[in-house]
Amino acid sequence: MEPLSPIYTAHLYAPLHQELIQLLQGLAPADWLRPTVCAAWKVRDIVAHLLDVDIRRLSFLRDGLEPAPPEAPIDGYRALVDYLNRLNADWVKAARRMSPPVLIDLLAVTGPQVARYVESLDMEAPARFPVSWAGDEVSPNWFDVGRDYTERWHHQQQIRDAAGAPGLTAREWLFPVLDLFMRSVAHTYREVPAPAGTVIGFEIEGAAGGVWSLARGREWRLFGGAADGPACTIRLDQDTAWRMFTKGIDGAEALRRATVEGAAPLARPFLGSLAVMA
């Protein structure tokens, strides 16, 4: 086992954006109306959401615009999720007035600006917003930029799934997503009791996969690599992993697809893991 190192993704924003624009330019009119794994959203709605993600990052972070005060106090994680869901729903509803060419043209403007902005950041400096799904109260910029990269990647993947387009699942794209998602696991297990020295192993199989270990000391801590004699080992393929972390499949389906060795109860929290705000 080795301590986890930062994982840097700013250099991936520009090429990921180019992949998105090429994908959208190749969609037929009917593709924009296809349903997606996001039950209330069609392809056009996910595209609109990605535009909103760009606009918020540029406005709030690059330009320092203060967000409008929430209608109700944000006094906990659930209230924060509800607030973000309302913001997302409001934008998507309004964006249904935009045609696909307009959405593509706007993304062609905002995407390169976001890429330049994130590449300009000091990656070790504190981010304005912490990565809440990892339990952070303060996060470095590299983690916030990485979190945003995972959102952009998995929403593009949802569009690709809906339209029947090939996925971006080569290691250069997907391993950073999986490695960042795995950093939610210690927070997921924060209330799971176990004796000190207990280790849980995680193996994500596939070209973009990897091996991680969650060890119990005074608290749970995630490491890269394998440990000798884990109390439980969980194996699943890379496709199952990213879908599980993003609500694309539920815990029961993740369990059906996974292989668990050892103390099965220790696997259950992981197979319900999320690395999105939900």
pTM of the model: 0.94
| Residue-range domains of the chain with CATH | 2-168 (1.20.120.450), 185-272 (3.30.1050.10)
- Phi, psi (deg, nearest 5) at residue 215: -115, 140
Q: What is the DSSP letter of 10?
A: G
Does residue 70 register a pLDDT over 80?
no
For 265, what's the count of Cα atoms within 13 Å in the CB-facing half-sphere? 3
User: Which is it for strands 210-216 and 199-205: parallel, antiparallel or unpaired?
Assistant: antiparallel
What digits encode the pLDDT tens for the residues 246-255? 999 998 999 9
Q: Which of 50-54, 110-114, 213-217, 273-277 has the lowest mean pLDDT?
A: 273-277
Q: Among 270, 259, 198, which Cα is nearest to 229's?
A: 198
The stretch 131-146 carries a mean pLDDT of 95
What digits encode the pLDDT tens for the residues 26-48? 999 999 999 999 988 999 999 99
Please name the residue that has the structure tokens 């060795």: 261
The stretch 124-134 carries a mean pLDDT of 94
260, 230 Cβ separation under 8 angstroms = no
What digits encode the pLDDT tens for the residues 79-89? 777 888 888 88
Cα angle vertex 56, ends 51, 59, to 5°?
120
Q: In this predicted structure, what is the pLDDT of residue 78?
A: 78
Per-residue confidence band for 74, with pLDDT thresholds at 50, 70 and 90? confident
Per-residue confidence band for 104, with pLDDT thresholds at 50, 70 and 90? very high
Per-residue confidence band for 197, with pLDDT thresholds at 50, 70 and 90? very high
Burial pattern 97-117, b for ≥16 Cβ within 10 A else e, equals ebebeebbebbeebbbebbeb
Per-residue confidence band for 270, with pLDDT thresholds at 50, 70 and 90? very high
242, 155 Cβ separation under 8 angstroms = no
274, 254 Cβ separation under 8 angstroms = no
If you average pLDDT over every residue of the chain, what do you get?
A: 94
- Phi, psi (deg, nearest 5) at residue 46: -65, -40
What digits encode the pLDDT tens for the residues 150-187? 999 999 999 999 999 999 999 999 999 999 999 999 99
Please name the residue that has the structure tokens 């440990």: 227
Q: What is the DSSP letter of 28?
A: -
What three-state secondary structure class fits 34?
Answer: coil
- The Cα–Cα gap between 98 and 211 comes to 43
Q: In this predicted structure, what is the pLDDT of residue 278?
A: 52
Does residue 277 register a pLDDT over 60?
no
Per-residue confidence band for 77, with pLDDT thresholds at 50, 70 and 90? confident
